[in-house]
Structure 1
């Protein structure tokens, strides 16, 4: 309110009207000449406010503060010299010099100027001798102390408000930055999730399509039309599976049956790898009575898919054993072992598959243990906890996007 010119317009107009009415009707001088001087001083104060002070209320400018002090000193001195009642102009001058000064130092100096004007006017108008000076000094001194105390208090409140506004702006900026970082992190996690899903679904299926297409082409060149037709049929079947997986990715749903038939999904996956590679895959699934939620079905199916793909691409194995079992506490256990060439797990890797599989299992709250060595095959054991932990972990990662 102190920095709104509209309110100052009302305050100065009302204050000047009260002083003018008091001057005319009993509180001012009885001499017509002195009344005229007092009214002129009141009008001069209003004019100084309108022409000088008002423009510096919202945007303080030093020259306005200085000019208003000169004008206020003149009109208050003249007014108080005409009538002691004109000291009422202080009630308007003190707050204005604090608002226009914009700093504590300028506010204090302006208050001193107003008090000096009041003392000078009283000295001119007061009784002869020490009593007139004492009256002027008492009036000016009391008003000066009160004005400085009140001005300092209001200035401290204003500074506190400005500090709170600055802290609020900093907090708002920090919250915006945290929100932006959260969005970036969610977007990064979503990209990683999509990369895993594409690698575990479309990339693996397309790799199988390449092998089947090469087989069909080879049989066709050898003149084995029936065998080539069979291979082309397998290509069509795998292509349809790839289309289904792509639609599932678009819909952000897992490419597994909605009836929680993990057994059937693993069976189809094994049949496809047998057809593509000729591997002897021994699949055993024992989840009877276990409540397998959709999230853990995805984890199990993708891990089996990734491990079989690694066997096909790297191990040179002839036999793979896949076993999925359900625990009494609702957990799941997957074990995949092959008789291939094995590898050094500490050696640098360029592929994404194993790292993506570890991350997928970790998001589900599970553990992955790998035992392998060059020439000794490979054995991977994955254990997932009961459904609530896995579900909440994966849903949290999905929700971040």
Structure 2
């Protein structure tokens, strides 16, 4: 209880009770004793107001030993005048404990209070044996009770402070975790955008460059109709690129909302046929409809197919590509893209961003990614996404 107002009420109330008791003659019938007792109460109130009260709830510094010493002298004088004034212990013990900066000074101050009461009894009793025994009994009992209670309350206060410290540390740790999560989320978002831009806009722009070069070449060679067809294809792909850009801005998946999964696959294959002049066989015999295939699986499969076909166009020098999408009984979806191009040594060739991006994307979906290739033997890319089918 560190609120000064409550301590003011407690000290004022206890002092008033003692004064009333003195005036009623409970402590002594002698007028001098009553006056001395009232003076002792006034001195105690001054000590409280001047020395103790200003540092309640704060570090007392030099005030604590001064207050304890003055309190000890006051108790010796007051108790020697009227043993009844040993009631001041009821205020002295709580004050020395609440003002103490640590546990040990509080115990020592309690000993000072007890010793002062015993000396006061002994002096007031004329240094007699009975006064010695009664004073010692009162002092020891009061000291043991006050110290035990003070240590118990002190331990509760320390426990509360420890809990407050741990709570503050936990709150700080939570804030740090939140900050790290935000940073990690931002990094993950940057990686996602990098993958999406590479897998969509970058590939589409590369196709647009090829088509533009083809249209220019056809125009220079006088192939007007062919150039017009190429420009029409270029316009269609540019519109698709615009849709992909809008999808990225709105953070939507790559599957158009107005098309089924099979149609999206067919459109992607048709685009690469037009861009690269490749013969691409598409097997959708076992592919489920978009209503039964999870959206995340659709995104992974489309992105991986797009990247695999882009790699064929850029590196393979292939004439035929076979694409198959199949679903097994466990609900996993397998995408296989195989070409008859020049291939490469999968064990020694450096992995570009495309292959690493596909592997990372598939891994985030809990799937498996594999590339099988050899020089002159073509390349096969396999993607397996587990639990891809949404139950009906």
TM-score, with length taken from structure 2: 0.93
**For structure 1, which segment, 162-171 or 310-319, has the greater mean C-alpha deviation from structure 2 after superposition?**
162-171
Q: Distance in 2 between matches of 1:277 and 1:288?
A: 25
Q: Distance in 1 between matches of 2:389 and 2:152?
A: 59
Q: Distance in 2 between matches of 1:10 and 1:279?
A: 95
Equivalence for 1:213: 212
Asked whether the 8 Å contact 1:260–1:292 carries over to 2, the reply is no
Q: 1:251 to 1:134 in 2, by over 3 A?
A: same
Equivalence for 2:39: 40
Query: 5+ residue gaps in structure 1?
Result: 391-401
Q: CA RMSD for the aligned pairs?
A: 2.1
Asked whether the 8 Å contact 2:343–2:373 carries over to 1, the reply is yes
Asked whether the 8 Å contact 2:294–2:390 carries over to 1, the reply is no
**For structure 1, which segment, 320-329 or 36-45, has the greater mean C-alpha deviation from structure 2 after superposition?**
320-329
Alignment of 1:275 with 2:274, yes or no, is: yes
Equivalence for 2:339: 338
Asked whether the 8 Å contact 1:126–1:136 carries over to 2, the reply is no
List aligned pairs for 1:147-186, cutoff 5 A. Answer: 147-186=146-185
Alignment of 1:296 with 2:297, yes or no, is: yes
Pairwise CA distance, 1:210: 1.2
- 1:119-153 per-residue CA deviation (whole Å, 9 max, x = no partner) reads 22222221452222222222222212222222222
- 1:233-285 per-residue CA deviation (whole Å, 9 max, x = no partner) reads 22211110000111112222223233662222122111211111111112221
Asked whether the 8 Å contact 1:286–1:326 carries over to 2, the reply is no
Q: 1:120 to 1:157 in 2, by over 3 A?
A: same
Q: Distance in 2 between matches of 1:159 and 1:262?
A: 65
Asked whether the 8 Å contact 1:82–1:125 carries over to 2, the reply is yes
Q: Distance in 1 between matches of 2:352 and 2:224?
A: 37
Pairwise CA distance, 1:208: 0.6
Q: Distance in 2 between matches of 1:305 and 1:172?
A: 46
Q: Secondary structure at the match of 1:209?
A: helix
Q: Secondary structure at the match of 1:320?
A: strand
TM-score, with length taken from structure 1: 0.91
Pairwise CA distance, 1:25: 0.9
Alignment of 1:96 with 2:95, yes or no, is: yes
Q: 1:118 to 1:389 in 2, by over 3 A?
A: farther
Asked whether the 8 Å contact 2:256–2:264 carries over to 1, the reply is yes
Pairwise CA distance, 1:289: 5.8
List aligned pairs for 1:37-76, cutoff 5 A. Answer: 37-76=36-75
**For structure 1, which segment, 77-86 or 130-139, has the greater mean C-alpha deviation from structure 2 after superposition?**
130-139
The aligned length equals 389
Q: Distance in 1 between matches of 2:259 and 2:347?
A: 37
List aligned pairs for 1:131-280, cutoff 5 A. Answer: 131-258=130-257, 261-280=260-279
Pairwise CA distance, 1:223: 4.2
Pairwise CA distance, 1:370: 1.9
Equivalence for 1:398: none
Asked whether the 8 Å contact 2:25–2:34 carries over to 1, the reply is no
Q: 1:289 to 1:67 in 2, by over 3 A?
A: closer
Equivalence for 1:120: 119
Following TM superposition, where does structure 1 have runs of at least 4 consecutive aligned residues deviating by more than 4 angstroms?
Answer: none
Q: Distance in 1 between matches of 2:374 and 2:145?
A: 90
Q: Secondary structure at the match of 2:280?
A: strand
Q: Distance in 2 between matches of 1:115 and 1:303?
A: 86
